[in-house]
A and B are shown apart, each in its own frame.
Chain A
Amino acid sequence: MLHSPIDRVASATPPAIAARIRGLSDRAIAWLFVAPSIVLLLAINIFPLIWTIRLSFTNFRVNRPNAPIEFVGLRNYINILSDSDIWQSMQATAHFLIWTIVLQVLIGFSLAYLINKKFRGNDLWTTIIVLPMMLSPAVVGNFWTFLYQPQIGLFNYVVGFLTGNDPSSFSMIASTSLAPWAIVIVDTWMWTPFVMLICLAGLRSIPNSIYEAAECDRASKWRQFWTITIPLVLPFLMLAVLFRGIENFKMFDLVVQLTGGGPGSITELTSVNLKRAAFEQWRTGYASAYAVILFVTVFGLASIYVKALNKVKQR
């Protein structure tokens, strides 16, 4: 009599196979279980990566299936690294990355610090604050283009009201000096709550006993903040910076919806630039080289950063 599903499966297994399985070592069985995941990983991540690296040395264009594919050596890499437009988009990306991280960390930590204090309705405030990050970036981008609209946009109205200027006298997304800030503001609005949540987790992980001990030692609030709160929250903050850094390095949808890379090419981040090369100009080999360069850059920076993070955690 079969008692459990496992018994039923066991009895259904042909005796020859069952005998083979019985003969397997623990290590072999472990491999058997892990193998499907490894195969998937190879198929979905490793193979495309190797294929991209291979294509990056060719002149292949996906819209020219009949054209011969020629090996062009490092030509794509040289062209990319000597292209001033690409350096401009790298600069735009760096501007976006640095300012969003600085603002999100400062505001996110401050909000977390405030929310961590016990006050009436703090759960409600937490919920309200985290709402923006639950929206789709494409929707947020679209939504903010209306807010930035010089004639009917709320943002322009508020700025106009505060400064006494005519709201329609400036356009956040049409001005070369304001457009980079327009996307920084939206990204900060959307993703500061994420940094806040990570910081909140960090703040709540600090045992009260440490503060109580500091109180006994008559340490001031300011000293407690700098010697207890900041060092203990720092690994969490660094983790937030890592997540936001990687995420913003490949920022695409928000920028496309907000400015389309414009005006001109002022807000054309590397991801937008790469998409244009790959799927609008159909320069597949060139775009592959571009993707490899970006991958190496992110991977390299992230590796250095993770090492630093580990050192901070070990302290």
Chain B
Amino acid sequence: MKSLLLSSALAAGMYIAVAAGTASHAQAADLTLCWAAWDPANALVELSKDFEAKSGNKMHYEFVPWPNFADRMLNELNSGGKLCDLLIGDSQWIGGAAENKQYVKLNDFFDKEGIKMDDFIPATVVGYAEWPKNSPNYWAMPAFGDVVGWTYRKDWFSRPELQAEFKKKYSRDLAVPKSWDELIDIARFFQGREIDGKKVYGAAIYTERGSEGVTMGAMNALYSYGFEYQNPKKPYELDGFVNSPDAVAGLEEYKKLYDCCTPPGHSDAYMTQDVDAYKSGQVALQMNFTFTWPGINADANVGGDKSGYFPNPAGPKGVQFAQLGGQGISVVAASDKQQEALDYIKWFSQPEIQQKWWKLGGYSALRAVVEDPSFASSQPYAKPFLDSMAIVKDFWAEPAYASLLQASQKRFHDYVVANQGSAKNALDGLVKDWQGVFEDDGKY
């Protein structure tokens, strides 16, 4: 009888506990955050535990591998799907998502909560949040600052015998390159060299054809050589800017680097392939988005003092730009839980959370974090990251960006990797393609 009473009490207790749990769960919202599947996303999961504890909302995540990220998420947005409440979408999507009302406009929310865009790195506000560009219309809050930069084998660079050989050959020290020409010299110097009994190569660069790789890579050379997307005084006037002599020289420079100094078979490489080539000790230099730097710094083979970081070098005229990466966080207009999603953004915007975000491996775009005197020395890659963020340029963020991107992918890959035609042909063709897209879009 006693045991019967005991088990009845236990069952009743369990029922009450479960019911209470269910009740409290019913009051809280289940939010889904969508992003790419990569290291920063894991850091965000860790960071968001604090939000869950404070708000009572439960976070769910939909992380899609990079090659499928755009396909998956743009399908979701275009179909008005309710999978994502929050989306950390690519910077190029802003135009389309804003014009098609797929993101919630955040101006009123920012005003109400006192979130100021002046508090963020200016380039990230333009790149990740604004549409139309340079207008105070905000569709996202800068969430993850990123830019293309370079990693180099500091340990190889500091070897006396290599230093001496390099100096003899090029009459300068083997050091971080200041220009694209110097970068190619270094890559050529290492190409096919034997180091510690292993054949190594010059540089791992972006050459991928399928999504955006070769464009994100070649643009770094093009920008620094003087490429412009359009006439700064007359929007959508492309001829003479996209295919200017400087732009042609920039594209030729990128091909030169591909031809002389990449590892064999590096014809369809993007972020992962470059990291793999670098971490496996195959290459002296690696082009990649800066999000890869914390992982490299922590790597057992190439991390710590073995690696150094530097911003994209300048062109022959001293012009220096780098391709912007990174994303802003937006509230999806089709979501039924917009208020809770906004609560998340409010929480995420707090300086102490942004500070923690940086510590966990996320690149905060909040000036309070990156302009803190201790920031530059907090990690070996912090200063190069800041220097890189100061020289960013971004690809078109037009609603038709996908068509524009497909055209550049084809033209660049045809020339750089497939060896077809000249750089001038490629850029003339690109002007024609882009003009066609804008014509379809009613820009002319």
Spell out A's residues near B (CB within 8 Å): 59, 62-66, 85, 148-151, 153, 168-169, 171, 173-174, 176, 256, 259-266, 276, 279-283
Contacts and interface: CB of A to CB of B under 8 A. Distances in A.
B268 A150 contact: no
Contact of A263 (B77, B78, B80, B417): B417
A64 B410 contact: no
Nearest to A266: B418
B418 A176 contact: yes
Interface string B73-91: 0110110100000000000
A87 to B, nearest CB: 15
Contacts, number: 97
B209 interface: yes
B78 A262 contact: no
A85 B433 CA distance: 12
B78 to A, nearest CB: 5
Interface of B: 70-71, 74-75, 77-78, 80, 96, 99-101, 208-210, 263-268, 399, 402-403, 405-406, 410, 413-415, 417-420, 440
Given A151-B263, A262-B267, A263-B209, A63 B418 contact: no
A151 B276 CA distance: 14
A174 B268 contact: yes
B265 A264 contact: no
- Chain A contact surface mostly: loop
B75 A279 contact: yes
Contact of B410 (A256, A265, A279): A265
Given A263-B417, A265-B410, A280-B402, A62 B210 contact: no
Given A148-B265, A151-B263, A279-B75, 19 more contacts: A59-B440, A63-B402, A65-B80, A66-B100, A149-B265, A151-B265, A153-B265, A168-B265, A174-B267, A262-B267, A262-B413, A262-B417, A263-B209, A264-B417, A265-B418, A276-B406, A280-B402, A280-B406, A283-B403
Nearest to B405: A280
A85 B209 CA distance: 16
Nearest to A272: B210
A150 B209 contact: no
B282 to A, nearest CB: 8
A173 B266 CA distance: 10
Given A280-B406, A281-B403, A260 B264 contact: no
A262 B100 contact: no
A259 B78 contact: no
Contacts of A174: 265-268, 417
Given A62-B78, A63-B96, A281-B403, A260 B268 contact: yes
A259 B417 CA distance: 12
7 smallest CB-CB distances across A and B, nearest first, come from A264-B418, A174-B267, A150-B264, A264-B414, A262-B209, A260-B210, A263-B418
Quick one: which of A63, A148, A266, A280 has the most chain B CB within 10 A?
A63
B210 A256 contact: yes
A283 B400 CA distance: 10
Contacts of A59: 440
Given A65-B78, A176-B420, A264-B410, A151 B264 contact: yes
Contacts of A148: 265
Contact of B264 (A62, A171, A265, A266): A171
Given A150-B264, A168-B264, A264 B420 contact: yes
B417 A281 contact: no
Contacts of B265: 148-151, 153, 168, 171, 173-174
